[in-house]
A and B are shown apart, each in its own frame.
Chain A
Amino acid sequence: MDVVMLSRLQFAVTVFFHFIFVPLTLGLSVLLAVMETLYVRSGNEQYKRMAKFWGKLFLINFALGVVTGISLEFQFGTNWANYSKGVGDIFGSILAIEATLAFFLESTFIAVWHFGWDKVSKKVHCFAIWAVAFASNLSALWIIIANGWMQNPIGSEFVNGKAVLIDFATVLSNPFAWSQYAHTILGAWLLAGFFVLGISALHLVRNNEKDFFGRSFKLAATWTLVLAVALPLQGHSHGVTVTKYQPAKLAAMESHWESAKSAPLYLLVFPDEKNRRNYFQALPVPGMLSFLAYGDTQAEVAGLNQIGAADFAEFVAKTGYRADTPVAVMADGEKIIRPLKPEDAVPPVLPTFLSFRLMVGLAGVFLVLAVVAWLRRKDIGEHPKIARALALAIPLPYICLMAGWTVAEVGRQPWIVHKTMLTVQGISAVPASSVALSLAAFVVVYGCLGVLDIWLLRKYAMKGPEPAGHAAGVA
């Protein structure tokens, strides 16, 4: 494999691994804040125990989220130097602002919360967890504004391959970014809901700490139901936004090859990427794709075979792209040339198409599970089958979120900055052997840490809360 593919793989591995820990942080921080607020309001010690127990799981998860984030920041420089050089003016400044505004807040107040139970007043302690919840969700906003700019680069101008900031307010108010942010946050909060539901259900079936886990379950059931309903609704609106700014991504999601008015949605379809058509398409719902994409059954939906050429022409006109210009010259003088053909200016269809289906299918499962959990919120302990299903469902939102990000990122290809810079143009001139080595190290180290972390989470989740009134140490 060459340096381009290795660098892309390494980023994919590290960003997916990072995102195992992030969504639980985003959602569970808010749930912890709600629990502790209930404690401060009511004085009921049970809520304090809840904040402590779920907080312990939160902390085991949190540490890996923080450190795996640094690998991503570093990689922009180590493996994507040409990208960094080109976009630092906008992308870099957003990351710097993210650190200044959100990471300091998050890291300081998580310490106050973790170590401050006996050091600050109840209210200050409760404020600390709200600050953590606010800061982690704020940092997600900034990173998605940065990603949103790659998806829909507005507020800037490209001069000699370098982005120059024109209007910061435009970058910040990017409609694509906000829609993607809402989508990500709803998904992350839903994941946290299922996490609490699944663990609580298992304890309730075993008659363990009935009041404690009953309260946890009830809180999470309502929370999860609201999100499981809101997510598909918002998801539809996000789909419309994606279509507006990235018709190629939508066409890849639906394996839609030829532009058509009043385009149908095929219930059975499978892409034949090589021949740029579908192996088969059956059971059309007339005008449905047009409706989903534009809210109008008559609208024309652009097909991949038309979009590629058009996007490519726009790219050439904007940047003066020449296919024979090397994307990088290595230290030994080797020139890396990766010419792009007009028809290839579309995303890989199969992974985008399949990930999209996986995501939507799982969202349906979540809706069913959330309704059932809510209906059984008072007596889940007497329904061991449902309880076990909920426990087994804990990994599903993780898979769903990964699939969603695959749609977002694979569906953006071949661009690193939409229609402005190719992913291959972003690489560093580092030897492929170095990247192969670091990729192998990431796989081994992350693999081991991931297994350990999940094992610890499981162990502490199954152990349950410390007995009431008990405050002795672990050691």
Chain B
Amino acid sequence: MTDILSHELLQIIWFLLWGLLWGIYFVLDGFDLGMGTLLPFLACTENERRTVYNAAGPYWDGNEVWLITAGGVTFAAFPTAYAVLFSALYAPLLILLFALIFRAVSFEFRNKINDPLWRKVWDVFQFLGNFVPALLLGVAFAGLFQGIPINENGVYMGNLLSLLNIYGLLGGVFFVLMFAVHGALWLNLKSEGILRARAEACAHKLWLPLTGIAVAFLVATAFYTPLYSAYLQTRVLGIIPLLAVTLLFSVRIMLQAGKHISAFASSAGFMLCVTLFGVIGMFPNIVLSSIKPEYSITVTEASSSQLTLTIMLCVALVCVPLVIIYQSWAYKLFAERVTEKSLQSDHAY
């Protein structure tokens, strides 16, 4: 059974699935991260703040599992990349981790004590627990595209600030804006009244800066990263960045037309295309070294054995469709808007 697919083909499949997994994580957790970032700016009253929490309520935990899976798949399919990337990005990853811990706890703890100060403290953590991961994921992925300072042994030669160059910061701001628009579009679907109107207006307002930064990021990518060489070699791949731009404009058009679900879907598609654009551009490397191109780690060098990749593909082919079916069912189950009345129930956040 192990020789149905060649090792090379399996590596390419898993590389694409790896990129796709990160993309799905960004799309799903992206709206949680975005809403949390916007919390202090959009929600003014206690009920509005609780609406924001409950708009993410049944989803954020399941969404975070996509991050665990993306990490797990990196470990399983490309152990060398996992080892090098995670140890190189030590500080940003640990900060990301602490931020996510505070986010989870702020969901669970906030409503347990009815005291304005207690709740205010957790609102701060909710904001930081979403804003910081959004920023760091952007900085980290910009770093991946650009290459990180690793030597021939995969040891990180940079310091804490190596990733915070112009391109890295641009990536950070880009991700924060991307998630914020995505979050505003989600809140637009999940709330009602003034808060919903504010969320819609916010998506409108942030669209232009997002587009500006996205264009700047695409242009800067040509100067700071080798990503475009893949696209110059295989021109048909150019459809991915084109699709990304199209979907970004579609967000605006759909919003204007009042088609709010389509606007959210366009935003999701945009984020998926952005991720795939970057990841595919890295091929055949999975970790780029900014010190010397020879130190970069290729997909082949990083990958697990043919047997492991085959088994994991079987597991994924059987389980992932099931996961998608029951997660979609759960999304549908809680699809209705958060209302004043639903906030009264004893299990609301």
Contacts and interface: CB of A to CB of B under 8 A. Distances in A.
Interface in A433-475: 434, 438, 441, 445, 449, 452, 456, 459-460, 466, 471-475
A217 to B, nearest CB: 24
Given A77-B82, A88-B79, A331-B151, A66 B61 contact: yes
B315 A101 contact: yes
B333 A99 contact: no
Nearest to B153: A329
B87 A445 contact: no
Nearest to A435: B90
B153 A71 contact: no
A444 to B, nearest CB: 10
A153 B75 CA distance: 18
Given A85-B80, A473-B348, A74 B333 contact: no
Given A166-B307, A445-B98, A473-B344, 17 more contacts: A59-B108, A62-B108, A64-B108, A68-B101, A77-B93, A81-B83, A84-B75, A93-B311, A100-B315, A108-B323, A110-B61, A111-B59, A120-B333, A330-B155, A472-B344, A474-B111, A474-B346
A430 interface: yes
Contacts of B69: 96, 99-100, 103-104
A7 to B, nearest CB: 10
B94 A441 contact: yes
A208 interface: no
Given A84-B86, A96-B69, A445-B98, A331 B333 contact: no
A237 to B, nearest CB: 30
B223 interface: no
A63 interface: yes
Chain A interface helix/strand/loop/mixed: helix
Q: List the 7 shortest-distance A-B pairs measured between CB atoms, nearest first.
A: A88-B79, A77-B86, A92-B75, A96-B72, A81-B83, A63-B108, A92-B76
A430 B304 contact: no
A310 interface: no
Interface in A92-137: 92-101, 103-105, 107-112, 114-120
A268 interface: no
Given A116-B333, A449-B101, A89 B308 contact: yes
Interface in B17-73: 46, 50, 57-59, 61-62, 64-65, 67-69, 71-73
Contact of A434 (B65, B91, B107, B154): B91
Contacts of B151: 331
Give the contact-size bracket for chain B.
Answer: 35 or more
A70 B69 CA distance: 10
Nearest to A91: B75
Nearest to A84: B83
Contact of A88 (B82, B323, B334): B82
Interface string B93-110: 110011011001101110
A118 B58 CA distance: 14
A69 to B, nearest CB: 8
A165 interface: yes
B333 A87 contact: no
Contact of B104 (A66, A99, A441): A66
A165 B7 CA distance: 14
B249 interface: no
Q: Which of B59, B83, B323 has the most CB of A within 10 A?
A: B83
A441 B98 contact: yes
A34 interface: no
Given A59-B108, A67-B105, A331-B151, A96 B333 contact: no
A168 interface: yes
7 contacts: A77-B71, A92-B76, A93-B304, A100-B323, A111-B57, A168-B307, A456-B112
A103 B65 contact: yes
B82 A107 contact: no
Interface in B297-349: 304-305, 307-308, 311-312, 315-316, 319-320, 323, 326-327, 330, 333-334, 343-348
A71 B320 CA distance: 24
Given A63-B104, A93-B76, A111 B58 contact: yes
A430 to B, nearest CB: 5
A147 interface: no
A76 interface: yes
A70 B346 contact: no
B194 interface: no
B346 A466 contact: yes
A60 B108 contact: yes
Contacts of A77: 71, 74-75, 82-83, 85-87, 93
A62 B108 CA distance: 9
Interface of A: 59-60, 62-64, 66-71, 73-74, 76-79, 81-82, 84-101, 103-105, 107-112, 114-120, 164-166, 168, 329-331, 428-430, 434, 438, 441, 445, 449, 452, 456, 459-460, 466, 471-475
A471 B155 CA distance: 57
B162 to A, nearest CB: 11
Given A63-B105, A112-B330, A95 B75 contact: yes
B58 A99 contact: no
B84 interface: yes
B98 A81 contact: no
Contacts of B109: 452, 456
B57 A115 contact: yes
A168 B109 CA distance: 42
Contacts of B111: 474-475
A325 to B, nearest CB: 13
B114 interface: yes
Interface in B245-281: none
Nearest to B85: A77
B137 to A, nearest CB: 14
A218 to B, nearest CB: 26
B224 interface: no
Interface in B136-174: 151, 153-157
A293 to B, nearest CB: 35
A390 B1 CA distance: 55
